[in-house]
Amino acid sequence: MGKEQDIITLILISILSTIIMLLFIGGMVIFIVQYRKRKLSHEKEKALINEQHYEEILTTKLEIQQQTMTDIGREIHDNIGQKLTLASIYANKMTYENKFPEIFDQIAAIGSILTESIEELRKLSRNLTNSNTDIGELKELIENECNRVNNLNICKLAYNFNETDYSISNTIKNFILRIIQEFLQNSLKHAGCKNITLDFEHNQVGLSIVIQDDGIGFNMPGNGYKNRKGIGLSNMKKRAELIGAEFTLTSAVNEGTKLALFIPDNKLNEN
């Protein structure tokens, strides 16, 4: 009987030890699982905080930049514009009174130049203060730019719109318009192109704009916009970054230049 009791006791101890070991292992597994869950949760919270912080910085940058442009626009209108207007009045007065007949044509030319400069400054002031983007849809604004290019008779610009209903903030609208204007100006001034195409498409994913000219193009080693003289190309990329857009510029000698801009749908109405 003594041996049987010892065997039973050993069996019970073995079972108990096994149970304790299983409980310990189970506890360790639960601890590890919980630790990993908490770690993942912490990383997600950290990523969310970083994203929110980035969006706050981006919003602040956009607000500062927009306010700066507004201030510059008002200064141009209120200060420089007024001085040019006064100079134009004096020039027109001298032309009307004809006090200096020997230089009548020169004075008239100066008056004409001043009048044109005033009109250009007014346009610039309106653009900087963003008043033009508060009226009309983005499609309408882009069509107006395309029509201006075609009216110059330098090259032909063909455009195509394929869009669904969407909402877009004035800030994003303004930045898109500036990028398009910059590309068109570069094409007209430097590309020597005969044709430009613009494709505008919006779907449930986002807004895609592709502009391409058939001009002389240029070599693009690495980040080509950084290796080109002037600030136009880098300004386009900077504007795209500020609104969270994907920006791609490609070009090659004698193969033209192409700009692809994509803005996710959730970024169109952020600012």
Q: What's the pLDDT tens digit per position in 34-74?
A: 878 888 877 777 777 766 666 666 666 666 666 676 666 66
Greater model confidence, 262 or 244: 262
The Cα–Cα gap between 239 and 233 comes to 10
What is residue 226's predicted lDDT score, i.e. its pLDDT? 45
Report CA-CA distances (Å) from 158 to 189, 195, 203: 18, 8, 21
Higher model confidence: residue 177 or residue 24? Answer: 177
> What one-letter code names the amino acid at 138?
L
Helices (H), 129-258: 138-151, 170-186, 224-227, 232-242
Query: Which residues are within 8 A (CB) of 269 and not within 5 positions of it... i.e. 6 or more apart?
Result: 167, 168, 169, 172
For residues 76 and 193, which has the higher predicted lDDT (pLDDT)? Answer: 193
Q: Is the pLDDT higher at 7 or at 165?
A: 165
Residue 77 pLDDT: 58
Domain ranges of the chain: 1-129, 137-267
- Residues 150 and 12: their CA atoms lie apart, in Å, by 96
CA dist., res. 159 & res. 189, Å (int)? 20
pLDDT tens sequence across 112-151: 777 777 776 666 666 665 544 455 588 888 998 898 888 8
Per-residue pLDDT, 227: 44
Superfamily of domain 137-267 in CATH is Histidine kinase-like ATPase, C-terminal domain (3.30.565.10)
pLDDT of residue 262: 95
Helix (H, G, I), strand (E, B) or coil at 234: helix
The span from the CA of 43 to the CA of 78, in Å, is 52
Mean of per-residue pLDDT scores for the chain:
77
pLDDT tens, residue by residue, 195-251: 999 999 998 899 999 999 999 988 875 544 444 444 567 778 888 888 889 999 998
